[in-house]
Structure 1
Amino acid sequence: MSTIERAEVFVASPGRTFVTLRITTSDGVTGLGDATLNGRELAVASYLQDHLVPLLIGKDPARIEDMWQYLYKGAYWRRGPVTMTAISAVDTALWDIKGKVAGLPVYQLLGGRSRDGVMVYSHASGTDVPSLLDDVQRYLDLGYKAVRAQAAVPDVGGTYGVRKGTVYEPAASTLPDEQPWDTEAYLRFAPTYLDAVRERFGFGFHLLHDVHHRLTPIEAARFGKRVEDAQLFWMEDPTPAENQEAFRLIRQHTTTPLAVGEVLTSIWDVQHLITEQLIDYVRTTVVHAGGITHLRRIFDLAALYQVRTGSHGATDLSPVSLAAAVHVDITVPNFGIQEYMGHVDETGEVFRSGVTFADGMLHPSEEPGLGVEYDEKAAERFPYEPRYLPVARRLDGSVHDW
């Protein structure tokens, strides 16, 4: 019987910081898992190296479900982003191994294709409305069928989602950037640029917008009602999801679809959001919600209540996560959309992925497993760089949800 012989944790910063787990079996088969938690990478690396890796040695890599339960229930202290990200890495690596042993891409092990490709959206942004419109045009020219739109609120320096370079990356290499925030200015301005996008480009593509937890429930309800004519594909994270009843209030006031879940880590975190049909899209992701095994469980629950998938896919998720997400996306019956921001060239030097983009859709690799390779030697050229996500402060100086 093949057993797990070695498990290695790599931390590198090729364009941004990633934590990668590589499991090797006694038969020499390797599997990769992403263990990246933006701004808390070393906490997950330590959880893996100091606590989980010793538990893996000698175990049967084929027993994926049993391993998931062992790592989740066996720790007693359950859930939370650090624990679930570490479990995700192990689970994803084991699926990679299983695919390689079977000689099949992972999506075939999950039941095969439910669709020909995975529709994705990317992030258009601008420092003002004209530059946002130019950026939307750029993505439409690239073939995207769905675009998220964000623009800087005039005279407010802490607007979420406006990139400074070619790829949006909010994390800074110094201590957290403390950014100002003005909710009323945002509520006045954001609907106008969403209207401008529709006025210029029409309704032949999907338009998305991320509120990024910035509003109270009644503010979110007001916003959702105001932008109904723009026919958003979704309004993302309108208010912090800790209070799930808040979404019932939003539902009472607007028909704008709601998407939630990128910071939630388990089926129990989204249970009532789904079963009470308080959201339209669940955005939990393979790297933070327990890996392929648990993400599929969440999506199966969502399918019972006509809630569709819309997994988080920012640049702080490595190509391993993106590949795993696409393998899941292409199989589940209730797929909605996949976030896709791409990665900088340095990331591609370390991770070689078989995922391809064409006509607004991603396609999984046909190689056995996930179809991703990790170049350890290349990673050595990009040593760890600590980074922090920003902190938002209202104009009176108090801390606000970022």
Structure 2
Amino acid sequence: MKIADARVVVTCPGRNFVTLKITTDDGLTGVGDATLNGRELAVASYLTEHVVPALIGRDAARIEDTWQYLYKGAYWRRGPVTMTAIAAVDTALWDIKGKAAGLPVYQLLGGRSRDGVTVYGHANAETVDEVLTEVGRYTELGYRAVRVQTGVPGLDATYGVGKDKLFYEPADAALPTETAWSTPHYLSHVPEVFRRVREEFGPHLQLLHDVHHRLTPIEAARLGASLEPYALTWMEDPVPAELQEGFRLIRQHTTTPLAVGEVFNSIWDCRQLIQEQLIDYIRTTVVHAGGISHLRRIFDLAALHHVRSGSHGATDLSPVCMAAALHLDISIPNFGLQEYMRHTPETDAVFPHDYRFEDGMLHPGERPGLGVDIDEDLAAQYPYQPAQLPVNRLQDGTVHSW
């Protein structure tokens, strides 16, 4: 079963996606997500110019060998562009292997460890009263876990608050827009938000909040301590994680669980955080962390250290990545939560898929492979549109983490 063809498809049904489609000499096809938000064409070029020519003629069944070939063979290892490209190849080969075996991919990973994959949605609004309505809407849809983000008084714009409540997309312009940030305003506002949410919805709804790398360790410790009465499932990305020792300080001052890792792209990025038990959830993704093969290694390491999965699942990951994540989520022993931001109807049409939402959980389906494909004719009707993520500044003009 040799790889006969591999092509890169770039499409924009509401936002940009990059997809790799591999075809074998016996006619099987597999798809892999290669989307890197705001830098999509960098990955598309890497695949087209460097990876695809090296794939033709390779044995499609040798997934691990191909992963090592692309990782070690490039010499310049890791990084988001390289690892996203490798992830696309790896995911597509798992899709092919499942089709060749006549089984959904999760069966090749050891079968089900649970009946479904519990997911969380994004309740966001400018004001606290409005966000209470949004939380209520998600509970009515059946969600058991909700991430809560609101506008911050005194700031014109805040991360996580979008114009469309179901389809939030932060990449909003051909060149980066700039927003202003105030940590004091934020720290004084967030505890009151969660006091109101708990008062309205009681103790059993799982609540999450994304800080989005904007605090120092001691500021994050203060926020975590102030949120303890409201029993969050996690506080996400409290600080930039390049300095991983910073999480030790946060741990010393709060019992609010910590989640991090959506920007990590290898096991080496999260090894210290996991082995020292400085986090509770690891949020690495199939598409940015080297595919199903490498993400499973990360989750296996996490399982040894009482760390659970909590993979990123925003709209910048296509339904191909979501399908792959679900097959991994349902099979691993240390699953925690899966982020699930719904895609637009246009995106769902371009990427027909078998997974479904029911009673607060996603189910990957039983079709052989990943259970997802790309309609290339329909994809061609949505050409690439330049879109970049915003840049954040403090109120005095200093560039700050977005």
Which TM-score bucket, shorter chain as reference? over 0.9
For the residue of structure 2 that corresponds to 1:374, the secondary structure is coil
- Counterpart of 2:129 in structure 1 is 130
Deviates more, 1:196-205 or 1:254-263: 196-205
Q: What one-letter code is carried by the residue in structure 2 that aligns with 1:146?
A: A
- Counterpart of 2:70 in structure 1 is 71
Q: What one-letter code is carried by the residue in structure 1 that aligns with 2:191?
A: P
- Counterpart of 2:299 in structure 1 is 299
Structure 1 distance, partners of 2:62, 2:218, is 47
1:399 aligned onto 2:399: yes
Structure 2 distance, partners of 1:363, 1:202, is 27
Q: CA deviation at 1:158?
A: 3.0
For the residue of structure 1 that corresponds to 2:115, the secondary structure is coil
Q: How does 1:281-300 map to 2 (within 5 A)?
A: 281-300=281-300
- Counterpart of 2:269 in structure 1 is 269
- Counterpart of 1:247 in structure 2 is 247
- Counterpart of 2:156 in structure 1 is 157
Q: CA deviation at 1:159?
A: 1.1
Q: What one-letter code is carried by the residue in structure 1 that aligns with 2:394?
A: R
Q: What one-letter code is carried by the residue in structure 1 that aligns with 2:65?
A: D
- Counterpart of 2:185 in structure 1 is 185
Q: Is the contact between residue 91 and residue 292 of structure 2 (CA under 8 Å) also seen in structure 1?
A: yes
Structure 2 distance, partners of 1:288, 1:125, is 25
TM-score by length of 2: 0.99
Q: How does 1:16-165 map to 2 (within 5 A)?
A: 16-165=15-164
Deviations 1:291-346 (A, max 9, x none): 00000000000000000000000000000000000000000000000000110011
Q: CA deviation at 1:15?
A: 1.0
Q: Is the contact between residue 19 and residue 36 of structure 1 (CA under 8 Å) also seen in structure 2?
A: yes
CA RMSD of aligned residues (A): 0.6
Q: CA deviation at 1:154?
A: 1.0
Structure 2 distance, partners of 1:107, 1:98, is 11
Structure 1 distance, partners of 2:257, 2:74, is 37
- Counterpart of 1:382 in structure 2 is 382
TM-score by length of 1: 0.99
Q: What one-letter code is carried by the residue in structure 1 that aligns with 2:174?
A: T
Q: What one-letter code is carried by the residue in structure 2 that aligns with 1:67?
A: T
Q: What one-letter code is carried by the residue in structure 1 that aligns with 2:354?
A: G
Q: How many residues align?
A: 401
Structure 2: gaps (5+ residues):
none
For the residue of structure 2 that corresponds to 1:160, the secondary structure is coil
For the residue of structure 1 that corresponds to 2:198, the secondary structure is helix
Structure 1: gaps (5+ residues):
none
Q: What one-letter code is carried by the residue in structure 1 that aligns with 2:140?
A: D
Percent identity of the aligned residues? 68
Q: CA deviation at 1:388?
A: 0.4
Structure 1 distance, partners of 2:2, 2:174, is 42
Structure 2 distance, partners of 1:158, 1:175, is 17
For the residue of structure 2 that corresponds to 1:7, the secondary structure is strand
Structure 2 distance, partners of 1:174, 1:399, is 19
- Counterpart of 2:259 in structure 1 is 259
- Counterpart of 1:234 in structure 2 is 234
- Counterpart of 1:355 in structure 2 is 355
Q: Is the contact between residue 173 and residue 389 of structure 2 (CA under 8 Å) also seen in structure 1?
A: no
Q: Is the contact between residue 30 and residue 92 of structure 2 (CA under 8 Å) also seen in structure 1?
A: yes
Structure 2 distance, partners of 1:380, 1:173, is 22
Deviations 1:347-399 (A, max 9, x none): 01200010100000000020000000210000111000010001001000010
Q: What one-letter code is carried by the residue in structure 1 that aligns with 2:263?
A: V
- Counterpart of 1:197 in structure 2 is 197
Structure 2 distance, partners of 1:112, 1:342, is 26
Structure 2 distance, partners of 1:237, 1:118, is 22
- Counterpart of 1:329 in structure 2 is 329
For the residue of structure 2 that corresponds to 1:171, the secondary structure is coil
Q: Is the contact between residue 355 and residue 363 of structure 2 (CA under 8 Å) also seen in structure 1?
A: yes
Q: CA deviation at 1:241?
A: 0.3
Deviations 1:24-65 (A, max 9, x none): 000010000000000000000000000000110000000000
Moved over 2 A (4+): none
Q: What one-letter code is carried by the residue in structure 2 that aligns with 1:110?
A: L
Structure 2 distance, partners of 1:149, 1:368, is 36
Structure 1 distance, partners of 2:319, 2:203, is 31
Q: CA deviation at 1:173?
A: 2.8
For the residue of structure 1 that corresponds to 2:253, the secondary structure is coil
Deviations 1:75-125 (A, max 9, x none): 000000000000000000000000000000000000000000000001001
Q: Is the contact between residue 353 and residue 373 of structure 1 (CA under 8 Å) also seen in structure 2?
A: yes
Q: Is the contact between residue 234 and residue 259 of structure 1 (CA under 8 Å) also seen in structure 2?
A: yes
Q: CA deviation at 1:191?
A: 1.0
Structure 1 distance, partners of 2:31, 2:338, is 21
For the residue of structure 1 that corresponds to 2:20, the secondary structure is strand
Structure 1 distance, partners of 2:342, 2:14, is 12
Q: Is the contact between residue 259 and residue 280 of structure 1 (CA under 8 Å) also seen in structure 2?
A: yes
Structure 2 distance, partners of 1:198, 1:129, is 12
1:316 aligned onto 2:306: no
Deviates more, 1:159-168 or 1:40-49: 159-168
Structure 2 distance, partners of 1:200, 1:172, is 33
